[in-house]
């Protein structure tokens, strides 16, 4: 079953999540995960994977508020930039 | 904007930005967009109030009108203790700073006003639950 429906690529795996959300009729929101040293890159990567898989957005808390507010705002805006960037398309 | 994103992704950029899904094709999916509520959700059994709230979520903030959502969750005192969430930056024990982060971070005011109301209700419940045991202790049972 999984051989046909997904691969090891994170975008294909997340596409399978979207497929299980009634082929996208329910928007897929992926979560940001806990806060660490590489938050900005991790958050942007998760946003790219969610958007290109066909997801509807990101919910990110700990990565945003477990740091100085200025850095939290920058991280939230970086996530939004992925969704605003027209050249990042659905795969 | 794309250059910044590509730089951040480093050596994963090509694999993430150029990948094409051959498992289930994008043409077969219902994708997010400005008309998602009218095209998909309006035909479900969601009440008008829910659809209206969804509209207000989709139509505010930096992602307004795109069909995409960017959500700031706060589960202080609900799923985790405030300490577990806010130890790295204790200013967020004060819910007003969460609201400030949401506004500065490009979320929309309806949501933050709603958050404020919820926090107020939550504070009230916390206070109420503190009083209940004291009352029980005084009761003859």
What is the ipTM for the molecules in this complex?
Answer: 0.95
Q: For chain A, how many structural domains are there in total?
A: 1
Q: Judge whether B95 and B113 are in contact, CB under 8 Å.
A: no
Q: Please tell me the distance in Å from A64's CA to the nearest CA on chain B.
A: 8
Which CA distances in Å does B37 have to A53, A85, B30, B34?
20, 22, 11, 8
pLDDT score of A51:
98
pLDDT score of B75:
66
Strand B69-71 with A29-31, pairing: unpaired
Alpha-carbon span A89 to A85, nearest angstrom? 8
The answer to whether position A89 is within a domain reads no
Alpha-carbon span A65 to B8, nearest angstrom? 21
In a 3-state reduction of DSSP, which class is residue B76?
strand
pTM score: 0.84
In terms of residue numbers, what domain contains A16?
2-84
Q: Judge whether A85 and B5 are in contact, CB under 8 Å.
A: yes
Domain boundaries, chain B: 29-68, 71-141
pLDDT digits over B87-126, tens only? 999 999 888 888 889 888 887 544 555 555 655 555 444 4
Alpha-carbon span B27 to B24, nearest angstrom? 9
The answer to whether position A11 is within a domain reads yes
Q: Measured between CB atoms, which of B5, B30, B104 is closest to A69?
A: B104
Please report, in tens digits, the pLDDT of each residue of chain A (91 residues total): 888 999 999 999 999 999 999 999 999 999 988 899 899 999 999 999 999 999 999 998 889 999 999 999 999 999 999 999 999 999 9
Q: Measured between CB atoms, which of A11, A24, A66 is closest to B16?
A: A11
């Amino acid at each position: 079953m999984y051989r046909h429906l997904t691969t090891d690529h994170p975008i294909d795996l997340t596409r399978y999540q979207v497929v299980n959300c009634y082929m996208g009729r329910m928007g897929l929101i992926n979560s940001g995960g806990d806060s660490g040293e590489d938050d900005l890159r991790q958050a942007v990567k998760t946003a790219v994977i969610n958007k290109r898989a066909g997801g509807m957005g990101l919910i990110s808390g700990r990565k945003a508020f477990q740091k100085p507010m200025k850095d939290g705002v920058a991280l939230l805006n970086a996530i939004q930039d992925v969704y605003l960037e027209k050249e990042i398309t659905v795969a | 904007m794309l250059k910044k994103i590509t730089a951040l992704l480093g050596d994963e950029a090509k694999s993430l930005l150029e990948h094409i899904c051959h498992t289930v094709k994008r043409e077969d999916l219902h994708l997010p967009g400005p008309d998602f509520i009218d095209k998909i959700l309006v035909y479900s059994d969601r009440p008008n109030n829910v659809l209206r709230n969804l509209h207000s979520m989709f139509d505010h903030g930096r992602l307004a009108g795109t069909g995409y959502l960017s959500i700031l969750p706060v589960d202080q005192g609900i799923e985790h203790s405030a300490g577990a969430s806010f130890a790295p930056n204790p200013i967020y024990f004060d819910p007003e700073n969460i609201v400030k982060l949401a506004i500065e971070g490009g979320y929309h005011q309806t949501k933050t006003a709603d958050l404020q109301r919820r926090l107020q209700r939550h504070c009230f419940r916390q206070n109420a639950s503190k009083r209940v045991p004291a009352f029980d202790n005084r009761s003859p049972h």
